[in-house]
Amino acid sequence: MLVLNIKNLCRLRGIPHPQKALIQAGISDKVATQYLKGNKSTILLAHIEILCKLLNCRPDNLFAWQPDTPADDQPNHPLQGIRIRPLANALHHLQQMTVEEAEALLRSREM
């Protein structure tokens, strides 16, 4: 089953109040709630664009996949690329780094 991955992406991007961010980006309160709870089975193309701009991501990043049955869990299927996986708390990891480690990480991103 495909599900929306918006809540995890907001956490990854360090957005402290996802509901507020989605509303400010132009999504209604009701729809923002449904997106964040994963209760919305459809998504407008205009909202995909809004979310991609807000979250600095590609459309495929907005979705995650969880196999419905063990038979659906084919290791070589392309959906494995967007399978639901625990999201590391990037901010926590950064806070645990020494200053030198953080600087080295930033330097590696500049290359």
Q: Among 43, 50, 33, 54, which residue's Cα sits nearest to residue 2?
A: 43
* pTM of the complete model: 0.73
- The residues, ordered by sequence, that sit 6+ positions from 70 with a Cβ below 8 Å of its Cβ are none
- Spatial contact of 3 and 66, defined as CB atoms under 8 Å apart: yes
Give pLDDT, residue 31: 97
Mean pLDDT by 10 residues, the chain (111 residues): 90 92 98 93 96 95 87 84 70 81 83 59
Sketch the domain layout of the chain as residue ranges. Answer: 2-84
Which CATH number, 1.10.357, 2.40.160, 1.10.260, 2.60.40, labels domain 2-84?
Answer: 1.10.260
DSSP, collapsed to helix, strand or coil, labels residue 11 as helix
In whole angstroms, what is the distance from residue 61 CA to residue 22 CA?
A: 16
- DSSP helix/strand/coil, 65: strand
Q: Which pLDDT belongs to residue 59?
A: 95
Report d(CA 64, CA 79) in Å as an integer.
Answer: 9
> Phi then psi for 56, rounded to 5 degrees?
50, 60
